Amino acid sequence: MKQFKIILVLLFLVSTGVVLGQSKSDKIFDSFRNKPGVTYFAFTKSMTDAFNIDLDEGKTIKGDLNEIRFMSYNPTKGSLSGTEFIKKASRMLPSAYNRVVEVDDDNDAEIWMLGNKRKAKEFHIFIKNEEEDDMQFLISFFGNFDIDDIEGIQEIGLNMTIGD
């Protein structure tokens, strides 16, 4: 009986560690993955100093990249419009995330960040196309980033969707 209690305690500790190790943004990917109209893939590998991008005017974003997740949504194959997909997905981010760039007339990307002005753990880029039946995108970066320029993250995400 004592061994049984020890095993239960160990299982609880291991399962708690697994839950705490997950990103708070996993709800988005878990909710949409394998749904009609959604394509999802991820690159995972601990890449120390792999994220080092020099931008115009001497600004940089650098850090350790652990994972990139890419999700596209095709409204013609799914049950939501493009706008509904973006709104529903972005609402799934907990309140700890800050929207640092909003969609406007000059900008098709909305960027959410988990972190502060100097360091970040996650960036989520929601890219909205103008037409409701066009593809919509979510690109997420996970790691430890030093921030000098937030617009650089937006540029990376946009380039990934248009295939430059």
Average pLDDT over residues 85-103: 88
Q: Among the listed ranges 12-16, 27-31, 73-77, which one has the minimum average pLDDT value?
A: 12-16
Of 164, 139, 13, 129, residue with least CA distance to 65: 139
Total domains in the chain come to 1
Q: Among the listed ranges 9-13, 41-45, 100-104, 127-131, which one has the minimum average pLDDT value?
A: 9-13
Here the tokens at position 34 are 């394998």
With respect to residue 7, please indicate whether it lies within any of the assigned structural domains.
no
With respect to residue 4, please indicate whether it lies within any of the assigned structural domains.
no
With respect to residue 76, please indicate whether it lies within any of the assigned structural domains.
yes
With respect to residue 38, please indicate whether it lies within any of the assigned structural domains.
yes
With respect to residue 80, please indicate whether it lies within any of the assigned structural domains.
yes
With respect to residue 2, please indicate whether it lies within any of the assigned structural domains.
no
pTM for this prediction? 0.71
Single-letter amino acid, residue 64: D
d(CA 122, CA 144): 8
Here the tokens at position 40 are 């999802």
Longest dimension (CA), the chain: 67
Q: What pLDDT is recorded for position 1?
A: 46
What is the band of 149 on the pLDDT scale with cuts at 50, 70, 90? Answer: low
With respect to residue 6, please indicate whether it lies within any of the assigned structural domains.
no
User: Taking 50 as the threshold, does the pLDDT of residue 141 lie above it?
Assistant: yes
Average pLDDT over residues 3-24: 44
User: Taking 80 as the threshold, does the pLDDT of residue 32 lie above it?
Assistant: yes
Q: What pLDDT is recorded for position 20?
A: 38
With respect to residue 129, please indicate whether it lies within any of the assigned structural domains.
yes
Percent of the chain with pLDDT over 70: 63
Range of the domain at 31: 23-162
What is the band of 71 on the pLDDT scale with cuts at 50, 70, 90? Answer: very high
